[in-house]
Structure 1
């Protein structure tokens, strides 16, 4: 009886292991790539203190960003669209103290600058 149970178990096990072979094709909608880029952009800005140095039309924002890139070459800068204006924001600071130190330095050149808290 044990031998019959052992043989049955072995045959079933071998048949199931051979049934596991196959090929999987994943078809992905092209818009998923675009959605991932939007998500990455949103995630990129969350969790960091940032400094907003100016805002306005896209042309004005580009001009401000160019000035910031010259004045603070080691500081990350980006133009964000927040309807209805474009905003120039700099830095990615994990701690508040680090952000405040750089904010004091930036504010000397850009008095209208604002320190932005991380979004949740």
Structure 2
């Protein structure tokens, strides 16, 4: 019995003594970082938006945006200039279904509103 105990003790202690330790290094191509940045920037334009209206002057666009912010405070809004008009847009929707649901609500107040596809 004593011999068996010594053998087991020796076996387990030698396992710890002979255990390996190591260090892992990952060599990554620099182009991967550049590709990740391109991917991140491309993903930000993939949202549906609702165009509430378009007008001929910046002042009118900002006035319309103020009204939209009052009517829909939970939606983000912005004014985009697309020569020769200023376009007031609201919301950022990941799916077309989300955008269409909100469009029905927005059209009650702004009948000319339309859902715009994401730019690619």
Q: TM-score, normalised by structure 1?
A: 0.62
- Taking only aligned residues, the RMSD between alpha carbons, in angstroms, comes to 1.7
2:7 equivalent in structure 1? none
Inter-partner Cα distance in structure 1 for 2:80 and 2:44: 10
Inter-partner Cα distance in structure 2 for 1:104 and 1:44: 26
Number of corresponding residues: 79
Inter-partner Cα distance in structure 1 for 2:44 and 2:104: 21
1:39 equivalent in structure 2? none
1:52 equivalent in structure 2? 51
1:100 equivalent in structure 2? 100
| Distance verdict in 2 for CA 1:104–1:87, change over 3 Å | same
Residue correspondence of structure 1 range 1-120 to structure 2 within 5 A: 46-56=45-55, 57-120=57-120
Larger Rg: 2
**Which runs of at least 4 in structure 1 moved beyond 4 Å after TM superposition?**
42-45
**TM-aligned CA deviation for residue 55 of structure 1:** 1.0
Task: Map Cα deviations across residues 10-51 of structure 1 (whole Å, 9 max, x no partner).
Answer: xxxxxxxxxxxxxxxxxxxxxxxxxxxxxxxx9686200000
Q: TM-score, normalised by structure 2?
A: 0.62
| Distance verdict in 2 for CA 1:117–1:88, change over 3 Å | same
Point out where structure 1 has 5 or more consecutive residues left out of the alignment.
Answer: 1-41
